[in-house]
């Protein structure tokens, strides 16, 4: 059976990457295969996770070489890997309009809130959970969406809600959103998009 070739973009620890690797190993992701992990910093622990699973890696220091040069190198790596789907799993860079157009409907991202709440420029990582608690919302969660030129502006693929507890801190909330939402819906959404790509290619 043919599988969609997946490249995963990362910036840090790679817990969402691990969720994807585990889902691939358990058969939740059966229509795709992770063939490449691309990091925008050499210190990203996600690279170690990829190596442990025998997945090819590529990294370049985006902050040193700039976004445009990083994207050029990433495109070369994607072409060489014959990647058909890009999954942003804790990638902190903002992709250019040229890049998102080149891979239109082939890039998906996980965001740690229920879009359209707490999203867009400046809303990433722990900041999202700080804002949710400051605002006093009672429910948050995670969203997987297609990536376009507007940060967090693409069509929603999947969402999962997480209740906020009275004693939550940004850190405890971040952890629960990861465990109860991100690690659940990112693999499922990846499988769903892979199935759609394979149907479209037939």
pLDDT beyond 70 at 166: yes
pLDDT band at 200 (very low <50, low <70, confident <90, very high): confident
Residue-wise pLDDT for 168-180, tens only, equals 999 999 999 999 9
Q: What token pair was written down for 36?
A: 């490449």
* pLDDT the model gives residue 201: 61
Residue-wise pLDDT for 50-63, tens only, equals 999 999 999 999 99
Per-residue 3-state assignment (H helix, E strand, C coil) for the chain: CCCEEEEEEECCCCHHHHHHHHHHHHCCCCCEEEEEEEECCCCCCHHHHHHHCCCEEEECCHHHHCHHHHHHHHHHHHHHHCCCEEEECCCCCCCCHHHHHHCCCCEEEEECCCCCCCCCCCCCCHHHHHHHHHHCCCEEEEEEEECCCCCCCCCEEEEEEEECCCCCCHHHHHHHHHHHHHHHHHHHHHHHHHHHHHHHHC
pLDDT band at 123 (very low <50, low <70, confident <90, very high): confident
How far is residue 156's CA from residue 192's CA, in Å, rounded to a whole number?
12
How far is residue 111's CA from residue 178's CA, in Å, rounded to a whole number?
10
pLDDT band at 38 (very low <50, low <70, confident <90, very high): very high
Active site residues: 111
- For the chain, list the domains and their CATH numbers: 4-112+144-159+181-201 (3.40.50.170)
pLDDT beyond 80 at 1: no
Peptide bond into 116 cis (omega under 30): yes
Residue 194's Cα: distance from chain center in Å?
15
How far is residue 8's CA from residue 91's CA, in Å, rounded to a whole number?
9
| Percent of the chain predicted with pLDDT > 90 | 91
């Amino acid at each position: 059976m043919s599988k969609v070739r997946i490249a995963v973009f990362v910036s840090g620890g790679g817990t969402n990457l691990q969720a994807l690797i585990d889902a691939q190993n358990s058969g939740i992701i059966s229509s795709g295969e992770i063939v490449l992990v691309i990091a925008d910093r050499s210190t990203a622990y996600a690279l170690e996770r990829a190596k442990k699973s025998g997945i090819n890696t590529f990294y370049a220091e985006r902050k040193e070489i700039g976004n445009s040069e990083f994207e050029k190198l990433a495109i070369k790596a994607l072409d060489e890997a014959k990647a058909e789907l890009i999954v942003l799993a804790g990638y902190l860079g903002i992709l250019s309009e040229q890049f998102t157009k080149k891979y239109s409907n082939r890039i998906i991202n996980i965001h740690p809130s229920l879009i359209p709440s707490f999203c867009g420029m400046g809303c990433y990582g722990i900041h999202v959970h700080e804002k949710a608690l400051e605002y006093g919302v009672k429910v948050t969660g995670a969203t997987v969406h297609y990536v376009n030129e507007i940060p967090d502006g693409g069509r929603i693929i999947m969402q999962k809600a997480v209740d906020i507890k009275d004693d939550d801190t940004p850190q405890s909330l971040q952890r629960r959103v990861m465990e109860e939402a991100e690690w659940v819906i990112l693999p499922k959404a990846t499988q769903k998009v892979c199935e759609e790509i394979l149907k479209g290619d037939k």
